[in-house]
Structure 1
Amino acid sequence: MPKTRIHPGDVIDGFTIGELAHRGGMAKLFSVTHPDYDFPMLMKVPEMGAGTDPAMIVGFEMEQMILPRLSGRHVPRFVANGDFATQPYIVFERLTGKSLYPMLDDLPRPPEEVASLGCRIAAALVDLHRQNVVHLDIKPSNIMFRETGEAVLVDYGLARHLHLPDLMDEEFRLPYGTAPYMAPEQILGVRSDFRSDIFALGVLLYFFATAKRPFGDPQRLKGLKKRLWRDPVPPRALTPDLPKPLQEVILRCLEINPARRYPTAAQLMMDLQDLSKVTLTARAEKLERDGWGAVIKRRFNPDPMELLRPQAATETAAGAPIVMVAIDLSDGSDELADALRLTVSRIIEKTPNARIACLNVLKIARISLESDLDAEGNNKHVARLVQLKHWAEPLKAPEGTITYHVIEAISPAAAILDYARQNIVDHIVMGARANSTMRSLLGSVSGEVAATAPCTVTVVRVRPPGDAAE
């Protein structure tokens, strides 16, 4: 049988128990050492005394199932598990950084800091969702940071792995989560939608930007359900100097219907990285909550909410890729421009939720005193942005699905690759250099990108005249 009490100096499966590092409502965390491991570790041991909530035990089982299947910089490194028949525990790396929780004593935070924090947390969600896990308990105490700056998501007791049995859903009918951060669909019992984590991150961004929780901290199901029809006070009404693009991002995350939120954490991260590229809608201008007419309509005649099964959640994420189109504006080839647009239009047709990032590299010399104005006296950067928008006009894409980026760099290939890695791009589309002589003299940018890109690369070529098949 499991030990009811664990003390410093005890040895469990070769792990020597050290000091009590943290005591929560459901588990204790002890520092531990082991001769086979040379890094700091923690052992998580569930509380199992009288009156223990059965959901806590099931949640611990879920964490034992999920954590060993996770990897990467955005999750704690798993070490070992202990069985409930002898002694239940989980051992994982002890992170040396701090959680977000202590920052709650010093809110609100500056908008640029809120956006930066959100961007790093969204990056962690991208990594987690790609491993088929919905966290379902995103909140300040469950977010830590490595010394190198990456956000780390901890505590998977409420999480759902889409390829594993969901014991929480099978054994309980009440929604479980942290009240201020629970998404509407989570309150209704849906535990398989990645966008629930996007909602929770929106709550966190709102809280850090305004020092107010958008939906309060209700303790009963009736109070939780109010967020199904009552919108929060717009953040700019509480913090007037909050940039409109940041309010746009936050309120989009907090949409009641998951279909109106960001389809993926990657697209959210992309907007938080550069708020100047955010497409503003009526959300950005709001200074008051919706009127009672709209609230009553949502209360008694709500829009059908898109509730996703596990397979549908995976399909939805796959259907919202970030596609970067690297455009060489100096090429001047109408044929290549048309071929690139045709390829992109086919992608948009097949994946209407795709985010298209049109990118041009403004090549600069290693040591240069050249002007940032062109021969006509126009700013080169601005002129390139105008050209990119002109290039994309024939696509007739929905508003907000295309963004435009001009990057100054010495190496076009390196700039394209850096952008793809930083923005977690799923697909790069680019044209091949048309002139074979130029390719031999200058090398192939597309070849270098295709060789080392972290994602799929489509290289579009135009058949030379006279090269048609007979």
Structure 2
Amino acid sequence: MTDEPTQALQAPEERILSGRYRVDSLIGRGGMATVHRGYDLTLGRTVAIKILDRDLARDNTFRTRFRLEAQAASRMAHASIVRVYDAGEDLEDDPAGGITHTPFIVMELVRGRLLSEIAADAPLSAEDAARYVDGILEALEYSHRAGVVHRDIKPGNVMVTDDGQVKVMDFGIARAVSDTSATVAETTTILGTAAYFSPEQAQGEPVDARADLYSTGVVLYELLTGRPPFVGGSPVAVAYQHVREAPVPPTQRYPDAPAQLDPIVMRALAKDPAQRYPDAATFREALDAALDGKTLSQRQLTHLADELYGDQRRAQHEIEHTFAELSSENGVARTQSGPPTAWVWAAIALIVASVAALAFWVVESDPMDLRVADTVDVVDVTGWTASAAERELTADGLEVQVSSQPSDSVPEGAVIETQPGPGTSLELGAHVDILVSDGPLMAKIPSLVGGTEEAARAALDGDSGLQLGRILPLNDPEAAAGTVLAAEVDGDEVDEGEEVLEGSRVDLTVATGRVTINDLTGMPYELAKKEFEALGLTVTQTRDDGCTATNPLVVETQNPAAGDVDIHSTVTLRVCAPVKVGSEDPGGENEGSGNQDTGDSGTGNKGAENKGSEGKGSGNANG
């Protein structure tokens, strides 16, 4: 064996997003994003991280829309929806000195297969197809009630877990994309395929929940036949078919498809949203009923198709007839009684391809620069750091002046706006003001704790920039009445000198100068005394001569009774007097002769504070 030099393999540097999410192995790649297995370092759980293409992030409007839609999606918690945990932007310095924004979302990691993979294996049975579509509709029923329209339902956005649970993902992303995309061609480039578009989406019209139901109908069609109802060489060609052509019933596309689901698919694929199912719940009910119902006859199915697609079917016949007439006028030999279908569709394909090429050229080509050579457009630097924005605008030949102001909505150090605004055409050397956020206005907590309530009110009512909130009374055995014990802002205790948002309300906890005592009658005297003394109270004792003492002494009454008393006040406890031994009288303050300790006679011996009769006479305490 020969010795060969070895080189240590260096592990690739870990990528951490927002200081919290570690990006691990690649799971999948799509037209607009890559999906990675990841790990949440804060909560200690495995997640899926979808990192969007950086080209999408160049548009500030998209980033804002994406963040808002991701937040809306994160509020949806349903078993049939992949949970969105978080969304953010990864900020990196680019070679030009600016900052690159890469949006990402953090989702629940689902173990299973994409529905697109399942559909690619073979057409499914009616039961399996209905089960998967029912899961999609269940998710849509929930999201539509929450006011969220998905806009991109397709098998690639549906996961089937290992135990058969259907989970729909990417809620809100399609809207963020479509609201910032100018053309159908551009939108479909981002979303990957137009095969599942509704007609209203293809025409750039406003959409509602019924657009999702149309896309679900396309998914059901594909599960039953192995392909979507409309395919073409370009997104524009497919979009044209969604708008203008009637779909072929699944059983005519794939004879083994379950005939009882033909009317369900045809209804879902109606061009007019008003002719589709009104909501996901109705779609689910119809699908469930169809599994147990009878199949339509060919005449009934034709009648349904005429009802739903009459205009499109007539238009197709008119197009075929027109092309047939044109071919006859140009001397094209006809060898069949009907119109030359192959020739007609070839011509249509040529027209569609031309439209698609034109759309692609419009999207991909740079617009004509009609500006005067000595002018420049103001770049949108909103959200950039002040230094990066200044470098960018200076490099464009503009004079820059930076100023700042507080802002509650824009992070400190980020650009709020420029004057003139983005897109304004200026001469080289023109002046541009950049307004940068100082962050929210802050105020310092004045000296409050330990002072009086009156002094605290005066401090907050002055020029502190703060407001007096609630006054919360609290019994404290040591603090005098009116002493401020604590100050809080939004439930958090604050200290002198601490900075909080200007205008914050400061809640004060103020001593009442009183303490609460309990009813300790029946408790051993010594224990009661300790409890009251722990509250800073003074305890005195009186003897009740009308009862016989127990061992240990027990509190008979207390004054004052249970409730609030002033701090450092006195509590008087009344106990029974001890009995005088050897006397028929229970003892007491007896006057007469006798000596308690020696038995010698004498006068005026009162006994040892014994309770009992007050009778006078001779006697010996020891008998």
**Shorter-chain-normalised TM-score: which range?**
0.5 to 0.7
How much does 1:150 deviate?
A: 3.2
User: Where does 1:216-227 land on structure 2 (aligned, <5 Å)?
Assistant: 216-221=231-236, 223-227=238-242
CA contact (8 A) 1:39 1:93 kept: no
> Structure 1: which 5+ residue stretches go unaligned?
1-6, 161-165, 301-470
- What residue ranges of structure 2 are gaps of 5+ in the alignment? 1-11, 93-101, 319-623
Distance 1:34 1:240, change over 3 A: closer
Aligned to 1:203: 218
Q: 1:80 aligns with which of 83, 86, 89?
A: 86
Matches within 5 A, 1:374-393: none
Aligned-partner Cα distance in 1 for 2:216–2:196: 8
Give the structure, 1 or 2, with the largest relative contact order (CA under 8 Å, sep 6 or more).
Answer: 1
1:34 to 40, 43, 47: 40
The CA deviation at 1:249 is 0.4
Letter matched to residue 49 of structure 2: M
What letter is aligned with 1:10? R
| One-letter amino acid of the structure 1 residue matched with residue 123 of structure 2 | P
CA-CA distance at 1:278 after TM superposition = 7.6
**Do residues 238 (structure 1) and 256 (structure 2) align?**
no
- After superposition, residues 158-307 of structure 1 pair within 5 angstroms as 158-160=173-175, 168-169=178-179, 172-174=182-184, 176-177=187-188, 178-221=193-236, 223-275=238-290, 276-277=292-293, 285-286=301-302, 295-297=313-315
Gap change, CA 1:170 and 1:238, over 3 Å in 2: closer
2:194–2:238 contact (8 Å) kept in structure 1: no
What pairs up with 1:59-458 in 2 under 5 angstroms? 60-61=66-67, 63-83=69-89, 88-156=103-171, 158-160=173-175, 168-169=178-179, 172-174=182-184, 176-177=187-188, 178-221=193-236, 223-275=238-290, 276-277=292-293, 285-286=301-302, 295-297=313-315
Give the aligned length.
Answer: 291
More helix, by proportion: 1
1:157 Cα deviation from its structure 2 partner: 5.5
Measure, in 1, the Cα distance between the counterparts of 2:29 and 2:62: 15
Q: For the structure 1 residues 293 and 272, does the alpha-carbon distance in structure 2 shift closer, same or farther, using more than 3 Å as the test?
A: closer
What corresponds to 2:8 in structure 1?
A: none
Q: What SS class does the counterpart of residue 34 from structure 2 fall into?
A: strand
How many Å apart are 1:125 and its aligned residue?
1.2
Displacement after TM superposition at 1:14 (Å): 2.2
Give percent identity, aligned residues only: 28
Structure 1 residue 246: Cα displacement = 0.5
Larger Rg: 2
Distance in 1 between the 2:60 and 2:299 partners?
42
- What amino acid is aligned across from residue 37 of structure 1 in structure 2? L
Counterpart check, 1:22 vs 2:38: no
2:234 is aligned with what amino acid?
Answer: Q
| AA matched with 2:14 | G
**Residues 1:118 and 1:203: Cα distance change in structure 2 (over 3 Å):** same
CA distance in structure 2 between the partners assigned to 1:59 and 1:218 by the alignment: 31
In 2, Cα distance between equivalents of 1:133 and 1:281: 38
2:67 touches 2:88 (CA, 8 Å); kept in 1? Answer: no
| CA deviation profile, 1:236-278 (whole Å, cap 9, x unmatched) | 1123343332101011101111111111111111122232258
Normalization by structure 2: what TM-score?
0.41
Cα distance in structure 1, aligned partners of 2:304 and 2:296: 17
CA-atom RMSD, angstroms? 3.8
Report the residue type matching 1:295 in the other structure: R
Q: CA deviation at 1:70?
A: 2.2
Look up the equivalent residue of 1:227 and give its one-letter code: H
Contact 1:46 1:89 in 2 (8 A): yes
In the superposition, relative to structure 1, how do residues 147 and 284 fare at CA in structure 2: closer, same or farther (>3 Å)?
farther
For 2:209, the aligned partner's letter is: F
The farther-off stretch of 33-42 and 190-199 is 33-42
| Amino acid across the alignment from 1:79 | Y
What residue identity is the alignment partner of 1:19? S
Question: 1:119-170 deviations in whole A, cap 9, x for unaligned?
Answer: 121111111211211111111110013445432111236444xxxxx67336
Partner of 1:346: none
Q: What amino acid is the match of 2:301?
A: E
Tell me if the contact between 1:233 and 1:288 (Cα under 8 Å) persists in the aligned partners. Answer: no
Distance 1:155 1:217 in 2: 25
Contact 1:108 1:208 in 2 (8 A): yes
- In structure 2, give the amino acid aligned to 1:155: D
Partners of 1:218 and 1:264 in 2: CA distance: 32
Tell me the amino acid that sits aligned with residue 50 of structure 2: K
Describe the SS at the equivalent of 1:256: coil
Report the alpha carbon displacement of residue 88 of structure 1 after superposing the two structures with TM: 3.0
**What is the distance in 2 between the residues matched to 1:158 and 1:191?**
16
Structure 1 length as normaliser, TM-score? 0.54
Post-superposition offset of 1:61: 4.3
Q: Alignment partner of 2:82: what SS?
A: coil
Partner Cα separation in structure 1 for residue 277 and residue 51 of structure 2 = 36
Q: How far apart, in 1, do the equivalents of 2:294 and 2:68 lie?
A: 38
Deviation (angstroms), 1:174: 3.5
SS in 1 for 2:119: helix
Taking structure 1 as reference, are residues 89 and 229 closer, same or farther at Cα in structure 2, changes over 3 Å only? closer
> Aligned with 1:41: secondary structure?
strand
Question: Is the strand fraction higher in 1 or 2?
Answer: 2
For residues 149-207 of structure 1, give each alpha carbon's deviation from its aligned partner in whole angstroms, at most 9, with x where no partner exists: 432111236444xxxxx673366353735311101111122343111111111111111
Paired residues of 1:74 and 1:150 also in contact (CA < 8 A): yes
